[in-house]
Structure 1
Amino acid sequence: MSRLIRSNPIQRNRSRDFRVIVLLFFVTLGGSIPARSSMAQTSTSQSSSVVLSNVAQGNVPPVDTNVSYEGFSEAIQDVNLSTEEVGQLVDVPVTLGQLVRKGDVIAQLDDRLDRASVEVSRMQASMEGEIRAALATRQMQQFRVEQLSQLRDDQMAGVDELRRAQTELAISEARLLVAQEQQRLRQVELERLELQIERRKLRAPFDGLVAEKSLDAGEAVTPTNLVVIRLVRVDKLIGVFNVPAERSFAMKPGLATQVYFRAARETVDGVIDSISPVINGESGTVQVRVRIDNQDGKLRPGDRCSMRVSPVQQITQREKRLQR
């Protein structure tokens, strides 16, 4: 037997009122979130525009002299040297750490065959037999033409005979010219072979220290094994630092800095040499390169170091602005 269950009107009203309240709550909440998000985005966009506008107008904050930036040092010149030719090394007269001067021979390839070719070419360039013979022939033909011309004036020689003598004189002059040109060619060939010998030597392109010695006497320079010496110039060093992009706008080339070398435990003066025009997208930094004097050679490339802008210079710049 089924029973009919009647719903209570009071309960239905309470349920309806609850649903209305919940609906109003979600509507109110849903409307407030986009409004707040829009306000936040507008605020962020405005602040970014202000920063970019300030940078564009040059209204950037001064360099913070209390902030230091980490980096490392490198030699102002660091090159791997190889001979211009391939072959077997007969001498590498340098040692690791040795100071070499610009133009010093620091490696020598076997050049015996080239030297023999130079001797042959030098002898050929010094030969003058052909030129002397051509000169004698020309003088004889010139004298013959003069004699026949005189006889022709006296009507004692024919025109054809004089013409043949003049032709032979022209031929002798051409042979003399050929002999002179051949001698010049032999001289040029001698210079080429002497240059070939010079290419068998490896000379230091600048004053520096031998950092690595990859090949020694008896070893061969091949297309797959070219590097003989690594040479570094350390009278000046370059400090490489990655500065946050927002701080790099206040830095300019020529700005004085102080650089601390960890291994050497020494603080030295430096000058900003260059600033990269691009920002590293991954790190958000800009590479700043600082030039450091190292005439005494106490500092070494590769040392970890930290850099900060010199406060003395900041005062000087402030005074200059006040004077203006």
Structure 2
Amino acid sequence: MIKRKKLICIIIALVAVSVITVGVSAFSGKSKSKSSIINMNKVSVKVVKVSTSSVTSNASFNASLEASEEGTISNKVGGKVTQVSFENGQSVSAGQALIKLDDTDIRNNIKSSEAQVAAAQAQLNSSESSANSSQIGINKQQTNLESAKRNYDRMKALYDQGAETKVDLENAETQLKNAQTDLQTAKANAQSSSLSAEAQRANIQKSQTDLNTQRESLQNTIITAPVSGVISGKNVTVGQYISPGTVIGKVENISSINAVIEVKDSDLSYVKLEAKAKFKLSSEDSKEYDGVIKSIDGVADPQSRIFKCKIQIDNKDGKLKPGVFGKIKIVKDENKKAITLPLKALGGSKGKYYVFTNNNGAAKKQNITVGEISEDTVEIKSGIKDGDNVICTNVGTLQDGDAVKAAE
């Protein structure tokens, strides 16, 4: 009986120990589970320690691209198109033949003008020969007049002395008058020949001018590229008749290209001639082109009060095209002191920006004011200070007071 009681007590003791052991284990498991849950609720974040440093301050402008040089393809003479030697997008050199017009009529006109010049030249030669003969006649009549004058003077002297008759004196006087008349006639003939020669010279000049015009028109039947560049706006086909001045297309020189921006008066402190600039087709584009400011309007637009500025960009590879938009970046200050953060640390919207700081393991929401925003950084003007640990991941999902854990 006593042995049986001892056995029961031993069993009860063993049961009690088992219960205690199970209870302790269960309590320990619950503690570990609660701790694990707490750790799992902490958001793993990356932080940046804030510090003021020297940064380069840039200004960004919307830009549109245009050719640095543009020439219109047009014709000076009318005619039927017999040949077209270009297509849109083709690169051409200045002076390169692009279009041929029918030149049959012009060539016939040239032959006619050449014949007119030759005929006028022959008439001029005849008039000049006549003028030369007239001059010889004048010299001869001048000699005859002088001889007749001397003869009359001698006869008059003899007649006054009674040594010659009145008839002889009258004959000498008649010869003198005839010589005077002959001289006047010779001079009139010479003047007429001279006027005829002048008229023929004027005729030759006119005919030669007409001939030169026709020859120039012949040259203009070949229409060439006004500048070197790429052709666009083709507006002509073979067989078409085009009138003088028809716009057939245009040539744009894009070996260097201009980025056109609009700036305010306040921007002119750093937007200056020969200042360097950077161009990108978009903020996401990794390719950046170097540019130099080449021109700034001297007068602002009276309506918008802005100045147009052109930045010249090297484009030898031809990848940049006129009419495309992009962004121009110009340095404002290379040694500006400021607090900057990665752009991804910024939350909110314009006028209501904020960041989260790691405040001893808790996310703390801080309202801030921002300055310049670039492609991947933002200037912070107020709201945080040097030494603050700013969270730069999971910003969109964090709430004020969330438990956070800074990633290694």
TM-score bin (small chain): 0.5 to 0.7
1:168 aligns with one of 183, 189, 193? 189
Matched, 1:236 2:256: yes
**Deviation for aligned residue 1:294:** 1.8
Aligned to 1:207: 228
Q: Take 2:219 and 2:242, find their aligned partners in 1: how far apart are those partners?
A: 16
Asked if structure 2 preserves the Cα contact closer than 8 Å seen for 1:105 and 1:203, the reply is: yes
Question: Which of 91, 97, 107 pairs up with 2:83?
Answer: 91
**CA deviation after TM superposition for structure 1 residue 195, in Å:** 2.9
Q: Which amino acid in structure 2 is aligned with residue 163 of structure 1?
A: Q
2:275 aligned partner, one-letter code? L
- Give the 3 Å change call, closer, same or farther, for CA 145–255 of structure 1 in structure 2: closer
Kindly provide the amino acid, as one letter, of the partner of residue 293 in structure 1. Answer: D
In 2: Cα distance, 1:218 partner to 1:111 partner:
13
User: In structure 2, the residue corresponding to 1:252 is in which secondary structure?
Assistant: coil
Match of 1:304 among 325, 329, 335: 325
**Relative to structure 1, is the Cα distance of residues 297 and 135 closer, same or farther in structure 2, using a 3 angstrom cutoff?**
same
Aligned length: 250
After superposition, the Cα gap between the structure-2 partners of 1:148 and 1:248, relative to the gap in structure 1 and judged at 3 Å, is closer
Matching of residue 81 in structure 1 with residue 73 in structure 2:
yes
Aligned 1:242-321 pairs, distance under 5 A: 242=262, 250-262=270-282, 266-275=287-296, 277-278=299-300, 287-310=308-331, 314=334
Q: CA deviation at 1:265?
A: 5.3
Matched residue, 1:111: 103
- Contact 2:260–2:309 (8 Å) recurs in 1: yes
1:217 is aligned, of 223, 238, 258, to 238
Identify unmatched segments of 5+ residues in structure 1: 1-61, 316-324
Q: Which residue of 1 aligns with 2:137?
A: 144
TM-score normalised over the length of structure 2: 0.53
Displacement after TM superposition at 1:235 (Å): 1.4
Q: 1:310 to 1:179 in 2, by over 3 A?
A: same
**One-letter code aligned to 1:116:** N
Per residue, is there more helix in 1 or in 2? 1
Cα distance in structure 2, aligned partners of 1:153 and 1:81: 73
Alignment-derived partner of residue 124 in structure 1: 116
Give a deviation string over 1:223-269, Cα, whole Å, max 9, x none: 8x932122110111111335577656542232211112359852121
Task: Check conservation: 2:81, 2:102, Cα contact below 8 A.
Answer: yes
For 1:86 and 1:137, the matched residues in 2 are separated by 44
Residues in 2 aligned to 1:274 and 1:234: alpha-carbon distance in whole angstroms: 17
Corresponding residue number in structure 2 for 1:101? 93
Gaps of 5+ in 2: 1-54, 149-174, 336-408
Q: 1:17-28 alignment to 2 at 5 Å?
A: none
Please report the RMSD computed on the Cα atoms of aligned residues, expressed in angstroms.
3.4
- The normalised TM-score by structure 1 is 0.65
**In the aligned structure 1, how far is the partner of 2:100 from the partner of 2:285?**
36
Taking the aligned partners of 1:146 and 1:215, their CA distance within structure 2 comes to 68
Give the match's secondary structure for 2:288: strand
Aligned-pair distance for 1:275? 4.1
The farther-off stretch of 124-133 and 153-162 is 153-162
User: Sequence identity of aligned pairs in percent?
Assistant: 19
| Pair 126,281 (structure 1): closer, same or farther in 2 beyond 3 Å | closer
Taking a change above 3 Å as real, the CA distance of residues 265 and 203 of structure 1, as seen in their structure-2 partners, is farther
Contact 2:77 2:217 in 1 (8 A): no
Closer, same or farther in 2 for the Cα pair 1:142/1:73, shift >3 Å? Answer: closer
Q: CA deviation at 1:181?
A: 2.2
Q: Considering only CA atoms, is the larger Rg found in Structure 1 or Structure 2?
A: 2
CA distance in 1, matches of 2:247, 2:224: 13
> Of 176, 180, 185, which residue of structure 1 is paired with 2:206?
185
Quick check: 1:69–1:242 contact (8 Å CA) kept in 2?
yes
